[in-house]
């Protein structure tokens, strides 16, 4: 997705592309709601850790971080957050998490979870200072968030105790438990509920159908977001699972709100659109 936008910016995109990853429904499910459950599942299956009373630091308070924080707090962990973005940091405050620099809590936490999309968020220097028996894992983009390479040095011993679980052993006997060698915990050590797959597959299928059926000229060689109405359609297809009943607008109400009774239901200025145009005039 990131690469698509870079191609688009460089004028090298040869076909229209649909950024399904940032459709609201997929975003929330793949990231927030799915990770809220898979962080617990991934940690339990690999380490059988008890969550109650554990001190955990979550690096990054985007959708993934929000999901991880909510779940762990709900099960009695004490959760700290690190952030680079002041808006997300303020959200973390309001949601009841202390916002700290990693170094402030590195000696006391039992678990580190990275969800930043950044690299070297946990450095060797910090791993050196972690407690014996602490756990470090990654729920973010790639396997670079934890500087795992820095742990492959002669003075440290690696012991594979179980599939996806390594004990990294310091000369003084301290053990840090590294999960999935720093790759994504939710993909490596947890399962994805079929419900989430259904949301994702539906979104992708609808995007392809839209691109295929769209009249000539609707989409240029650019990156687009799924039209709001289709995003709503994906959601509405999944409501019966929960026996959820939508309220319908009366004619009078639709007119009052300036909306079509069948959606899209957010006023135009909520709509998602191709957010980077090729000609750069946008900002």
**Gap between the Cα atoms of 226 and 26, Å rounded:** 10
Q: How far is the CB of 239 from a copy of itself (least distance, A)?
A: 6
By CB under 8 A, tell whether 163 contacts a copy of itself.
no
Binding piece for a copy of itself, criterion CB under 8 A, among 33-41, 161-169, 179-187, 202-210:
33-41
By CB under 8 A, tell whether 211 contacts a copy of itself.
no
Binding piece for a copy of itself, criterion CB under 8 A, among 101-109, 149-157, 164-172, 202-210:
101-109
Dihedral angle, C-alpha 123, 125, 131, 135, nearest 10 °: 20
Binding piece for a copy of itself, criterion CB under 8 A, among 154-162, 170-178, 200-208, 232-240:
232-240
Q: Which of 18, 20, 31, 33 binds a copy of itself (CB under 8 A)?
A: 33
**110 close to 137: Cβ distance less than 8 angstroms:** no
* Beta strands 165-169 and 157-162, pairing class: antiparallel
Q: What is the DSSP string of 124-180?
A: HHHHHHSPTTEEEEE-SSSTTSB-GGGG-STTSEEEEEETTEEEEE-TTS-EEEEEG
Q: Name the 3-class secondary structure at 85.
A: coil
Token output for 155: 């003075």
Q: Select from 102, 151, 112, 108 the least CA-distant residue to 131.
A: 108
By CB under 8 A, tell whether 94 contacts a copy of itself.
yes
Q: How far is the CB of 91 from a copy of itself (least distance, A)?
A: 7
Give the DSSP H or E segment for 112.
Answer: strand 111-114
Q: How far is the CB of 154 from a copy of itself (least distance, A)?
A: 25
Token output for 22: 């940032």
By CB under 8 A, tell whether 216 contacts a copy of itself.
no
Q: Name the 3-class secondary structure at 18.
A: strand
**52 close to 76: Cβ distance less than 8 angstroms:** yes
Binding-residue total with a copy of itself (CB under 8 A)? 96
By CB under 8 A, tell whether 100 contacts a copy of itself.
yes
**80 close to 56: Cβ distance less than 8 angstroms:** yes
Closer CB to a copy of itself, residue 129 or residue 271? 271
By CB under 8 A, tell whether 16 contacts a copy of itself.
no
Q: Which of 37, 128, 147, 210 binds a copy of itself (CB under 8 A)?
A: 37
Binding piece for a copy of itself, criterion CB under 8 A, among 150-158, 173-181, 204-212, 233-241:
233-241
Closer CB to a copy of itself, residue 108 or residue 157? 108
By CB under 8 A, tell whether 108 contacts a copy of itself.
yes
Q: Which of residues 109-138 bind a copy of itself (CB under 8 A)?
A: 117-120
Q: Which of 155, 172, 243, 251 binds a copy of itself (CB under 8 A)?
A: 243
Q: Which of 20, 78, 106, 206 binds a copy of itself (CB under 8 A)?
A: 78
Biggest alpha carbon–alpha carbon distance for the chain: 74
**73 close to 56: Cβ distance less than 8 angstroms:** no
Q: Which of residues 181-200 bind a copy of itself (CB under 8 A)?
A: 191-196
By CB under 8 A, tell whether 158 contacts a copy of itself.
no
Closer CB to a copy of itself, residue 184 or residue 233? 233
């Amino acid at each position: 997705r990131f690469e698509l936008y870079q191609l688009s910016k460089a004028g090298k995109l040869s076909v229209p592309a649909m950024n399904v990853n940032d459709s609201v429904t997929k975003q929330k499910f793949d990231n927030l709601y799915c990770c809220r459950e898979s962080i617990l599942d991934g940690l339990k299956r690999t380490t059988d850790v008890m969550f109650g009373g554990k001190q955990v630091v979550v690096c990054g308070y985007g959708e993934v971080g929000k999901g991880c924080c909510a779940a762990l707090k709900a099960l009695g962990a004490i959760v700290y957050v690190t952030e680079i973005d002041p808006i997300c940091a303020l959200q973390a405050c309001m949601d009841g998490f202390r916002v700290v620099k990693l170094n402030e809590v590195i000696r006391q936490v039992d678990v580190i979870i990275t969800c930043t999309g950044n690299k070297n968020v946990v450095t060797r220097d910090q791993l050196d200072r972690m407690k014996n028996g602490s756990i470090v894992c990654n729920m973010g983009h790639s396997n670079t968030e934890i500087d795992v390479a820095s742990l492959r040095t002669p003075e440290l011993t690696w012991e594979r105790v179980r599939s996806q679980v390594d004990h990294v052993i310091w000369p003084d006997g301290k053990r840090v438990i590294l999960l999935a060698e720093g790759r994504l915990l939710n993909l490596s050590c947890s399962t994805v509920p079929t419900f989430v797959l259904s949301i994702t597959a539906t979104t992708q299928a609808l995007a392809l159908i839209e691109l295929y059926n769209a009249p000539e000229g609707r989409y240029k060689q650019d990156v687009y977001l799924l039209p709001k109405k289709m995003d709503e359609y994906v959601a509405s297809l999944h409501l019966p699972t929960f026996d959820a009943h939508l309220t319908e607008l009366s004619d009078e109400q639709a007119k009052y709100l300036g909306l079509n009774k069948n959606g899209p239901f957010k006023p135009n200025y909520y709509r998602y659109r191709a957010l980077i145009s090729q000609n750069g005039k946008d900002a």
